[in-house]
Amino acid sequence: MSRKEPRIVAELGRPETPDETAARKAAASRRHRENRNVVNLIAALVVCLAVVLVMVLVVLRPDVPEREPIDVAGAAGSAQSITDEPLIAPKLPEGWSANVAEVRTGADGVITWYAGYVTPDQQFLFFRQALDANPTWLVTAIEQATPTGERTIAGLTWTEHDQRTLEDPGNLEYVLTTEQGASTVVIGGTADDAELQTFAEAVTAELTSGE
């Protein structure tokens, strides 16, 4: 029987030596193990993601009941005992909802009737009605906003503080202030001119209703 000649490796142009053969087999084995590790890692990640997805889909979440709008007129009636000055409860069209209405007393002792509203365009507007306030209270309440003009609404003159060009005016993008009787009133928020006008007219109607 004739002796089988060693296989010639194309890259070498000659048969492999025993050492080269062993090195080639070891490298192939190492690559196989590395590939298996990568595949196993990917499979583990897929399993983990699947478990998380199942938990998100399966776990029951209790429905959060929608918060009922605040009855500002009712709250104002309940709070009226604190003062002889009529507390504001503006009458607004459908689509407006109040999310807070409460009496507040500041560190300076000034009592304030406050209500905040979500507008039909999902913006925020509020009023503060301070009773027997002092100039310091007003400056603090509007965070030292600079007057930018005047605005007359239903015969009542308001001082405006337009801060919509500032980088971060918060909820005081646009502010109106006025005094009527014993009340110092601040209107402010993030709504556009149309919604602001509607709100300011409703507040003004309350302020001038006793005249």
Average pLDDT, the chain: 85
Over residues 129-171, the pLDDT tens digits come to: 999 999 999 999 999 999 999 999 999 999 999 999 999 999 9
Domain ranges of the chain: 8-58, 72-208
- The arithmetic mean of pLDDT across residues 25-53, rounded, is 73
Over residues 46-71, the pLDDT tens digits come to: 777 776 776 666 555 545 455 677 99
Q: Is the pLDDT reported for residue 76 higher than 50? A: yes
Over residues 168-187, the pLDDT tens digits come to: 999 999 999 999 999 999 99
What is the C-alpha to C-alpha distance for residues 4 and 16, in angstroms, rounded to an integer? 14
Do residues 97 and 79 touch, judged by C-beta distance below 8 A?
no
What confidence score (pLDDT) does residue 153 get? 95
What confidence score (pLDDT) does residue 63 get? 54
- Number of residues written out for the chain: 211
What confidence score (pLDDT) does residue 64 get? 45
* Superfamily of chain region 72-208: MucB/RseB, C-terminal domain (3.30.200.100)
What confidence score (pLDDT) does residue 25 get? 73
pTM: 0.68
- The arithmetic mean of pLDDT across residues 116-126, rounded, is 97
